[in-house]
Structure formats: C-alpha cells, structure tokens
Amino acid sequence: MKTGSLNDELQLQVRKRFSNVETNFWLAAATFLDPRLKKVPFSNKTMVDQAQKRLETEMCSVSVGNLAQSEEPDEPTSIQLPSPNVEPTEEVGLWSWFGKKATEQQRHRTAVVDAALDMRHYTEGKLMTRTDDPLEFWKKHSLEYPRLSVIGKKFLSVPATSVPSERLFSKAGELVAAKRNRLKAQNIDMILFPNKNA
C-alpha cells in the first residue's frame, strides 16, 4: 500500500466515523467544557452556538433548583394582621399569588443572566495547557464559575470512548462462543466477572 493511498484511506475513515461529532450534544458539550479546548475544535459555528445555548439552559435549571433550596428571599419577620373589624378579601390572596410569581420570575431572570455571564467569562478566558486536568480546573474554579462547574463536572465525567465496554462484551463473546456454548446466563456472569478483572 502506498503512502498516498493510506493517507487517503485514513482521511476517508475519519470523515466517515466522525462526521456527526459536532451534532452529538454530549460530545459537543464535553468538548466545549474542556478548558483545554473550548470552542477551538468546532468547525461549525452554528453547532458550537447551539451547544453553548443548551449548556446555558442546563445551568439555569441547576441554579434554579439550588437557589430554591438555599437562597430563599428575605421575608419580614413581623406579620401584619388585618384589623378585627375588616375581613380579608380575595385581593390579598391574589396579590400574594402575584408576589410569588414575580419572585419566581426574578429568580429565573437572575439565573439566566448569571448563566450567560459565567459562560461569557469562561469562553473569554485563556485555554489550559494540553497536559492539565480539566476536572481539576473545575474543582479549582468552582467559586468563580459556580453554575458552570456543576455542569462541567457532569459532562466531563463521561468516558471518552466505549473501549472498556467493548472489551467486556468481546470477553463475554469469547467465553460463550469459544469455551462453552451451553452455559446459563448466571454462570456466564460468574465466569465473566473474574475474567473482566484479570
């Protein structure tokens, strides 16, 4: 095989196998949240913008859940009771409901703004070196990017390849096909476990 044809074949196989990488949100998010890469590997600006918007949405949902539990709005400690001669009206209930809705919208609006600011600050920061650990980056910068670090840890903990699972299944195939062909599922699991860990 000539060098030119090997090169052509490799390029063909890379295009064939990795042509849809940017459209897969999980891969795009893991790439974007890797502080060594960020937006650099993306060839399609539309795909990186879509991934960024979706990550901002995820950041809002994480922060809203955390804010609802930890940052309750300050409520006055004194309660004003209506005078005994005046009966409470429907408007009190309506205004109470309106106030709760306004508070929820303000929380959401704050989360959206915070998510956008965190994302902008992250993307404008400089890239890490190739040998640095991205998970260590998110651990170290969890106060600087509180919402984004939660999402970063979530997406970067996904295994980059399926090799470990492929090894397990190929090992199972060897056990079932080559050594024995009339095993029960329970026995296959018992044999596979020590072979997997060997």
Q: What is the pTM of this model?
A: 0.56
Percent of the chain past pLDDT 70, that is, above it, reads 65
User: Given pLDDT bands bounded at 50, 70 and 90, which one contains residue 95?
Assistant: confident
Alpha-helical runs (H) found in 125-162: 134-140, 146-156
Task: Provide CB contacts within 8 A for 4, sequence distance 6+.
Answer: none
- What are the tens digits of pLDDT across the range 174-195? 555 545 556 677 777 777 766 6
pLDDT of residue 103: 79
